[in-house]
Amino acid sequence: MKKFVILIPVYNDWESLKKLLININENIQDIKNVKFDCIVVNDASSIENSELIVPSNFSSIKIVNMNENRGHARCNAFGIKFLSKQSNFDHLILMDGDGEDRPEEIKNLVDQALKDPGTSVVAKRIKRSEGPLFQLLYRIHKYLTFISTGKLINFGNYSCLTRQDVVELSSKASLWSSFSGSVKKYISKYNEIDSIRGLRYFGPSQMSLYKLAIHSFSIIAVFKTQVFLRTLIFLLLTYLVGPILKINFIIFQILLIFFNLVVFIVSFRENKEELENSESNIKSVENFTH
């Protein structure tokens, strides 16, 4: 029997978590010969959670309570590091706890993982549910990432990793800053399923424009060497072509240099030492079973 562990970071949004677990439970009930456990990383929530009831199709739920709030990306990084030291699972599913990663698609992830058990699976975003401004900015983020790195990254955290890839990612400093960038850089082969970004169960989206900018630059920073080399090529081309076309590229050149500076600064979010020591932030662990 295969064992899948579902990793869900949570900050205060316990009502969404309860609804998500119920919806996951409904969507995995027909999956045979698979055992499901859940690890919830409580990112130092200021609201206490009421006791969880383990849904019927889960074997157990473990809540890891953190001392200090570190943010969503680093909760995922901690969870991957935490699980990399365990051998009693076959696949790790990463999900947001607010409903934006739709539980209706989890069966597709599991089916694909069972069909090709040696290869991880990512949920490729084919449609988003945010407003037009956010969707426009997200497209700009994707194009900017592709132009600056040469990498098309059309997935987020929602994914199903093999245990081997969990171990592979767990030692990478970039994981502390960007999950999707790390997957793209260090996992050479993965399968895809189509995914629609869902709506939050309760309240507005927590992804502000500032967080989107940090998210975008964190992904790009994983490939900072490629960004620097591409920038040199762009600068050289503008230097050579400018006099021929009689165009002054000085503003464009300044923007390129500023862009590289921002990428360089954001790259300091990557921290292997903090990743290695992330378990020191554990305050307590709660186990829930039937």
Confidence at residue 211, expressed as pLDDT on a 0 to 100 scale: 79
What's the average model confidence in pLDDT over 216-229?
96
pLDDT digits (tens, 9 = 90+) for 79-91: 999 999 988 899 9
Whole-number pLDDT of residue 147 = 93
Q: Which two tokens stand for residue 132?
A: 């037009």
Under the banding of pLDDT at 50, 70 and 90, the label for residue 6 is very high
Mean pLDDT, the chain, integer: 92
CA distance 139 to 121: 22
Bridge partner residues of 286 (DSSP): 63
Burial of 208 (0-12, 13-18, 19+ CB in 10 A): exposed
Q: What are the structural domain ranges in the chain?
A: 2-129+154-204+272-289, 224-265
What lies within 8 Å, CB to CB, of 214 at 6+ separation is 266
In this predicted structure, the answer to whether residue 200 has a pLDDT above a threshold of 90 is no
**Residue 180 pLDDT > 80, yes or no?**
yes
Task: With cut-offs at 50, 70 and 90, classify the pLDDT of residue 279.
Answer: very high
Global pTM value: 0.92
pLDDT above 80: residue 51: no
227-236 contact pairs (CB < 8 A, 24+)? 227/148, 227/149, 227/260, 227/263, 228/260, 230/147, 230/148, 230/149, 230/150, 231/148, 231/256, 231/257, 231/259, 231/260
**Given a cut of 70, is residue 62 above it in pLDDT?**
yes
- 63-81 mean pLDDT: 96
| Mean pLDDT calculated for residue range 39-59 | 91
Q: Which CATH number fits domain 2-129+154-204+272-289: 1.10.150.120, 1.10.1740.10, 3.90.550.10, 3.40.1550.20?
A: 3.90.550.10
Identify whether the C-beta of residue 37 lies closer than 8 Å to the C-beta of residue 59.
yes
Asked whether residue 257 carries a pLDDT value surpassing 90, the answer given is yes
* Strands of 190-196's sheet in order across: 190-196, 120-127, 155-162, 91-94, 2-10, 34-42, 60-66, 282-289
Residue-wise pLDDT for 98-156, tens only, equals 999 999 999 999 999 999 999 999 999 887 666 677 778 778 888 999 999 999 999 99
